[in-house]
Chain A
Amino acid sequence: DGGITQSPKYLFRKEGQNVTLSCEQNLNHDAMYWYRQDPGQGLRLIYYSQIVNDFQKGDIAEGYSVSREKKESFPLTVTSAQKNPTAFYLCASSIGTVLNQPQHFGDGTRLSIL
């Protein structure tokens, strides 16, 4: 079945540690996105990529980094510079740029601080 796979489902980070969240899609979508969801807030865009080897910052990119070496993969690294990383992280993809293209979401990764 085609879809988006995020792993792990739950992740714990120690202070000062970088962690990487995985996102893989087999939908042959060009565009991929990372969102963060906090209680009582909508999804906020961290980074997005419209094509391999290219990505753009979203609204809250500070403390995060991404790479897009393959079309299928868009991993997100939460660095130690992100002072409030506890949140639910959602990866999404769409056929093209977001305009008029519904995004398909993974099931999310919940990150917590130890």
Chain B
Amino acid sequence: DQQVKQNSPSLSVQEGRISILNCDYTNSMFDYFLWYKKYPAEGPTFLISISSIKDKNEDGRFTVFLNKSAKHLSLHIVPSQPGDSAVYFCAAVDPSTYDMRFGAGTRLTVKP
């Protein structure tokens, strides 16, 4: 029962262009969403988050958009850099259970 889905296992973009990573969820109780970035042989690191009371949160080159009606969020990276190449996990929190659910991840490759 995957409550958080990242349907694209991989994404390849050219350096300087925009990367858009998508995430869908099914549980309407989720009210807080996070993106984590993971390099090979390292643990995930927190990247950016958004509360359900917002529809956008921006931090430098990273912007997360939340569409509650569609139960969809996306991470935009502009401009993309080769160092952004990593696996990106979307996560969602259910405040009633304190559960954090992760998606399966999307591997982003930014080509020079």
Contacts and interface: CB of A to CB of B under 8 A. Distances in A.
Interface of A: 4, 6, 9, 35, 40-45, 90, 92, 97-100, 102-108
Interface residues of B, number: 26
Given A42-B4, A43-B89, A45-B100, A100 B32 contact: yes
Contact of A107 (B9, B41, B46, B101): B41
B18 interface: no
Interface string B18-50: 000000000000001010100001111110010
B43 A40 contact: no
Contacts of B43: 4, 6, 90, 92, 105-108
A98 B93 contact: yes
Contact of A98 (B36, B100, B104): B100
A97 B14 CA distance: 39
B95 interface: yes
Q: Which 6 A-B pairs have the closest CB atoms?
A: A105-B43, A42-B102, A102-B46, A43-B102, A98-B100, A42-B104
Nearest to B36: A105
Contacts of B55: none
* Most chain B CB within a 10 A radius of its CB, from A4, A41, A103, A104: A103
A103 B104 contact: no
Contacts of B95: 99
Given A42-B2, A98-B100, 13 more contacts: A6-B43, A40-B104, A41-B104, A42-B105, A98-B98, A99-B32, A99-B98, A100-B93, A102-B34, A102-B46, A102-B49, A104-B45, A105-B36
